[in-house]
Amino acid sequence: MKTKTIQILILGLILASFLLGACFYPIMPERMASHWDPNGSVNGYMPKIVGLFLMPVISTIIFLAFLVIPRIDPLKGNIDKFRSYFNLFILLLFGFLSYLYLLTILWNLGYRFNIIQLMAPAIGLIIYYAGVLTENAKQNWFIGVRTPWTLSSERVWYKTNKLAGKLFKATGVLAMLGAAFPKQAIFFILVPVILSAIYPLIYSYQEYEREMKIKAKA
């Protein structure tokens, strides 16, 4: 899908969020539920003007950031090489934000459901596709596993991001399974994500050290 098409779709989602907020503002409670604990119970509230419009505003800021990143990256030519994966990830991310926004509105309209259970499959999909994006990312300063060692060696970048991609895809599948275990869903997401984020950092250092030792012996 072309970049311009993706941008138009995302703008449509953001505009729809602002319109929904404006439409539902008169009937929303003065204090909206805005945060849930791992069991799906509300443990945070905010004024309705913030609850209705914070997410659209955040989405707008994120969208602007995604417009800027490919333009300012010193290795922006590499981003063009995997731009189709990047574009789809952005669209999925904004689809997720819109989904979360809709769930929040429905809850505050009086509908009751386990929001953690409903979020788990969507979070899993985002994490899984983040793995796909990471596997296909070329060296750049914003996307993928970026450490001093991956940015210093194309080989270390390639091996580290291939590994991280596989870990994130596995984590995504586990997160989707969390929907079947609502009380434990947060642990199907949080623990694997932390491990998948930390291990590639260590791995990139080890691979770089290995590469330097090989070069020193040559």
Whether the Cβ atoms of residue 215 and residue 155 lie closer than 8 Å to each other: no
Q: How far apart are CA 113 and CA 39, in angstroms?
A: 11
CA distances to 42, 176, 196, 200, 201 from 164, rounded to whole Å, are: 34, 18, 7, 6, 9
> Same domain, yes or no, for 130 and 217?
yes
Predicted TM-score (pTM) of the model is: 0.90
> Same domain, yes or no, for 127 and 188?
yes
Query: Which whole number is the average pLDDT over 115-142?
Result: 93
Give the SS3 label for residue 169. helix
> Same domain, yes or no, for 107 and 15?
yes
- How many domains in the chain? 2
Q: How far apart are CA 57 and CA 64, in angstroms?
A: 11
Q: What is the structure's pLDDT at 89?
A: 96
> Same domain, yes or no, for 43 and 129?
no
> Same domain, yes or no, for 30 and 92?
yes
Question: 163, 162, 182, 185: which is closest to 174 by C-alpha?
Answer: 185
Q: How far apart are CA 135 and CA 18, in angstroms?
A: 34
What single-letter DSSP state applies at residue 49?
A: H
What single-letter DSSP state applies at residue 138?
A: P
> Same domain, yes or no, for 109 and 119?
no
Query: In this predicted model, what pLDDT tens digit does every residue of 75-125 receive, in sequence order?
Result: 999 999 999 999 999 999 999 999 999 999 999 999 988 888 888 899 999
Q: How far apart are CA 94 and CA 142, in angstroms?
A: 18
> Same domain, yes or no, for 78 and 48?
yes
> Same domain, yes or no, for 80 and 186?
no
Q: What is the structure's pLDDT at 40?
A: 76
